[in-house]
Copies of this chain bind each other. A is one copy, B any other.
């Protein structure tokens, strides 16, 4: 799902041009594991492509979301993060630093189909968050209290 060829194919199949900008952005976000923000993606892309504009990043991320390769996760700090994993899974999110890691629980599949059956309609998407304080932030909080 992350090869340049595969990405180009995916854009064209949906009727969009496979431009170098789009390909670089797609490669970076699709292989990411930490659900980066648009700004983080922009900074990463700029290294390889210094003239690229933030607007292009936003536009491409929306496009990738539209064609189903990405999920946009909105948060109350108004900064979205982008999740390349479209299948039902749990986002384990640190309430302090915002870091996210995916958790693919075996138990989710079963639960999921059960809930869909109960609901009586087929969802077009889902989002499952679990909030905590990650080990690093927990350690920092402890240190600050001690000092």
Interface residues of A (CB under 8 A from B): 72-78, 80, 90, 92, 95, 103, 105, 107-108, 111, 114-115, 118-119, 121-133
Between A and B, 21 residue pairs with Cβ closer than 8 Å are A74-B76, A76-B80, A90-B115, A92-B119, A95-B124, A95-B125, A103-B119, A105-B115, A107-B114, A108-B115, A111-B111, A115-B130, A119-B130, A122-B132, A123-B132, A124-B131, A124-B132, A124-B133, A125-B130, A126-B131, A127-B127
Main secondary structure of the interface of A (DSSP, over half): mixed
Which residues of the other chain, B, contact A126 by a CB distance below 8 angstroms? 128-131
* CB nearest neighbor in B for A127: B129
Q: Counting chain B CB atoms within 10 Å of each CB, which of A72, A132, A133 scores highest? A: A132
Q: What are the nearest 8 A-B pairs in CB distance?
A: A74-B76, A125-B131, A74-B75, A127-B129, A78-B78, A111-B111, A72-B76, A123-B130
Which residues of the other chain, B, contact A111 by a CB distance below 8 angstroms? 107, 111
* CB nearest neighbor in B for A133: B124
